[in-house]
Amino acid sequence: MPHSRITAQNITQLKEIARVRRGWIADLAWSPTSAALALASAEGITLFDTALNPRAVLTGHHGPVKSLAVGRGGWLIASGGADTTVRLWDLQANAAVRILNGHTDAVDGVALNSAGTRLATAGADQRVQLWDLERGESIAVYAGHTDEITSVCFLSGGEVVASGGWDKTIRLWDVATGQLRALLQHDDWVRDLRASADGSLLASASRDTSVRLWDGASGALIQRLNAHPGGADAVAFSPDGTLLATAGRDLRIQFWSLPGGEPLHTFEDHTKPVLTLAFSPDGTLLATGSGDNTLRLWAV
């Protein structure tokens, strides 16, 4: 049965439709068609259908997989691991097609540009690397963070790379020049960064309890949401940009309207903090992964 698109008008009708158990869930990424969901965990990368039936397991990292990104074409997955490597996977073959070595510590964040030609990676070695996927090589290294980088994403049509981490900062890097475009500040660790579908907005979740919205080109602060006592862990934009979902240490998932930032609906069902969440590209499903070792799907 087809599901309705999740909107501000029906958000209170959101219900859990499926769940599975997986140990140490780190990241989620949807296929462009919304037909498959990839989960990064201590067990590797598991691919699920929209009923959370497992379809494939991708193994090869020597240790937990910490980050995921899916290319627009849907056949390519990039993963970052605690083993310091970045791996590119062909979903038609369910196999790794390339291993990128360049980091010297765990890779906590990976992001693909919309064209699928560039990959940004970052992690515990305090560096952001930009990769040309056609050549399979690193083409830039951005240095400036003074502690572990937890998340990375592309903004403004791929012209900007955003990185955030334990040093309480978010840095916007100009891809064309390699220079720092803007330095943004939180009051504590930055745990998660996500770009809106059009790349015009950046959302950040921090241990300082706030979720903040920034202009993707200039870095100007648009709004601060006092979101989660104890700290905010994860953020996700709906595909049409009208909703923001956030999660944190209070175990709650909170929905906010955009562009106004008004709170719409809150629910608490996981028994430990939600560490990652993602809307499906068609806007009909929300996936949540928690420290309670469950992956759950929600729909109207």
Domains of the chain listed by start with CATH number: 11-299 (2.130.10.10)
pLDDT at position 1 is: 58
Q: What is the pLDDT of residues 126-165, one digit of tens each?
A: 999 999 998 889 999 999 999 999 999 999 989 999 999 9
Report pLDDT digits (tens) over 59-84: 999 999 999 999 877 788 999 999 99
What is the predicted pLDDT for the residue at 152? 98
Specify the pLDDT at position 95: 84
DSSP the chain: -PPPPP-TTTGGG-EEEEEEE-SSEEEEEE-TTSS-EEEEETTEEEEE-TT--EEEEE---SS-EEEEEE-TTSSEEEEEETTSEEEEEETTTTEEEEEEE--SS-EEEEEE-TTSSEEEEEETTSEEEEEETTTTEEEEEEE--SS-EEEEEEEGGGTEEEEEETTSEEEEEETTT--EEEEEE-SS-EEEEEE-TTSSEEEEEETTSEEEEEETTT--EEEEEE--TT-EEEEEE-TTSSEEEEEETTSEEEEEETTT--EEEEEE--SS-EEEEEE-TTSS-EEEEETTSEEEEEE-
| pTM to 2 decimal places | 0.95
Average pLDDT, the chain: 95
Mean pLDDT per block of 10 residues along the chain (300 residues) reads: 90 96 93 93 93 93 95 85 95 87 97 93 98 92 97 95 98 96 97 96 98 96 95 97 97 95 94 96 97 96
Residues with Cβ within 8 Å of residue 93, at least 6 apart in sequence: none
Long-range own/partner contacts, residues 80-89 (CB < 8 A, 24 or more apart)? 80/106, 80/107, 80/108, 80/109, 80/110, 80/121, 80/123, 81/106, 81/107, 82/106, 82/107, 84/123, 85/61, 86/110, 86/119, 86/121, 86/131, 87/60, 87/61, 88/119, 88/133, 89/45, 89/58
